[in-house]
């Protein structure tokens, strides 16, 4: 077209981090930006997100942009995709970090408590509403973000997805042998079957029949949602050989989610995530990483 000015190609890598306003996500943004990556820090709340960007800019990290993203809202995800398409035409790194625990706290955490994890587990309560929220956010929200941004990742020369998972999502948490095997049989597992299994889990939750059917108890929905996300990540990695799609457990980290009861700092937890997000070309895909090492999903 006469008079059209073509934009020079954007040479720096571009990353999107979900739930980037605090905790591990904020630290992932800081570390990626320090590594020379252009970071789109996203947060569901405009103010919390903008404040986080200001904090990072105050550290001298200028190549950080904010975009609102509520991962359970399809119009919010679509708006982010449009922004990325218009601004960059592609996406190189997607860090799916946003999540909720989906449990209620019975009382304020005692920070002086010696056996902190034990104390936290004794003082949280699973609820039906929390379980639904956990499945909707941690599995379906994350899946929807991935599915919508996938074409942009496919436009990159080295697309990477790092799904922040948890050791609670390992298959050993599920006592039901059949379900465990199905979730590990990635060649035959389908998205539709994952939907059915999650529907069955929520039905069993409401009927107070989790234990009877071999589902985890205690942070039940968080564990099942992360196990489902791990399985979906493996399915996607098989379908998208040109991308590197992996899951990473950050360790037990002091954040709001752990009620500051973790043993690692957000900086230490985020380091594991960033290492997976920056895996070299030809590196592993469809894998799970914990403590900096590739490990089993089981």
Ligand X SMILES: NC(=O)c1ccc[n+]([C@@H]2O[C@H](COP(=O)([O-])OP(=O)(O)OC[C@H]3O[C@@H](n4cnc5c(N)ncnc54)[C@H](OP(=O)(O)O)[C@@H]3O)[C@@H](O)[C@H]2O)c1
Closest CB to ligand X among residues 72, 123 = 72
Chain position carrying tokens 């989610």: 257
250 touches ligand X (CB under 6 A): yes
Cα 57–chain centre separation: 24
- Applying the rule CB under 6 A, the residues between 83 and 142 that interact with ligand X are 97-100, 137, 141
Give the per-residue contact string, 12-41, with ligand X (x = CB under 6 A; - = no).
------xx-xxxxx----------------
121 versus 209: smaller Cβ distance to ligand X: 121
d(CA 201, CA 281): 37
Least gap, CB of 260 to ligand X (angstroms): 9
Question: Can you tell me whether residue 126 is helix, strand or coil?
Answer: strand
Would residue 232 show up in a list of annotated catalytic residues for this protein? no
Of 69 and 91, the one with the shorter C-beta distance to ligand X is 69
Site for ligand X in 210-249 (CB under 6 A): 249
Which of these is catalytic: 139, 222, 232, 288? 222
Give backbone dihedrals phi and psi of 43, rounded to 5 degrees, phi first: -155, 155
Considering only CA atoms, which of 47, 85, 81 is closest in space to residue 66? 47
Touching ligand X, residues 164-203 (CB under 6 A): 164, 166
* 76, 166, 248 from 43: Cα distances, Å: 11, 21, 20
Stretch that binds ligand X, among 54-62, 122-130, 147-155, 253-261 (CB under 6 A): 253-261
**Residue burial 44-79, b: 16+ Cβ < 10 Å; e: rest:** beeeebeebbebbeeeebeebebbbbbbbeeebbee
H or E element: which one contains 46? helix 46-58
Q: For the CA atoms of 192, 196, 202, 204, what is the dihedral angle to 10 degrees? A: -160
Q: Does 44 bind ligand X (CB under 6 A)?
A: yes
**Which residue's CB is nearer to ligand X, number 167 or number 213?**
167
Determine the Cα–Cα distance for residues 214 and 178; give it in Å rounded to an integer: 9
Give the total of residues touching ligand X (CB under 6 A): 32
Catalytic residues: 222
List of residues contacting ligand X (CB under 6 A): 18-19, 21-25, 43-45, 48, 69-72, 97-100, 137, 141, 164, 166, 249-250, 252-253, 255-258, 262
């Amino acid at each position: 077209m006469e008079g059209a000015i073509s934009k020079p190609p954007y040479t720096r890598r571009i990353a999107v981090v979900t739930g980037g306003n605090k905790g591990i996500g904020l630290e992932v943004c800081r570390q990626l930006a320090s590594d020379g990556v252009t970071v789109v820090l996203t947060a569901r709340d405009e103010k919390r997100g903008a404040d986080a960007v200001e904090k990072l800019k105050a550290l001298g990290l200028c190549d950080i942009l904010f975009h609102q993203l509520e991962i359970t809202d399809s119009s919010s995800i679509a708006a982010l995709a449009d922004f990325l398409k218009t601004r960059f035409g592609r996406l190189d790194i997607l860090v799916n970090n946003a999540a909720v625990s989906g449990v209620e706290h019975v009382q304020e955490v005692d920070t002086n408590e010696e056996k902190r994890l034990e104390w936290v587990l004794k003082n949280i309560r699973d609820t039906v509403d929390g379980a639904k929220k956990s499945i909707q956010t941690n599995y379906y929200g994350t899946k929807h973000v991935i599915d919508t941004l996938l074409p942009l990742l496919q436009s990159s020369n080295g697309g990477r997805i790092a799904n922040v998972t948890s050791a609670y999502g390992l298959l050993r948490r599920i006592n039901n042998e059949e379900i465990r095997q199905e979730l590990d049989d990635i060649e035959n597992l389908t998205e539709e079957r994952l939907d059915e299994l999650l529907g069955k889990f929520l039905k069993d939750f409401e009927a107070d029949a989790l234990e009877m059917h071999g589902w985890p108890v205690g942070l039940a929905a968080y564990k099942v949602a992360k196990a489902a996300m791990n399985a979906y990540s493996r399915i996607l990695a098989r379908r998208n050989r040109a991308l590197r799609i992996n899951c990473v457990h950050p360790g037990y980290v002091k954040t709001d989610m752990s009620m500051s009861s973790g043993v690692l700092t957000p900086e230490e937890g985020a380091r594991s995530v960033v290492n997976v997000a920056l895996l070299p070309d030809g590196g592993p895909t469809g894998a799970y990483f914990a403590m900096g090492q590739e490990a089993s999903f089981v």
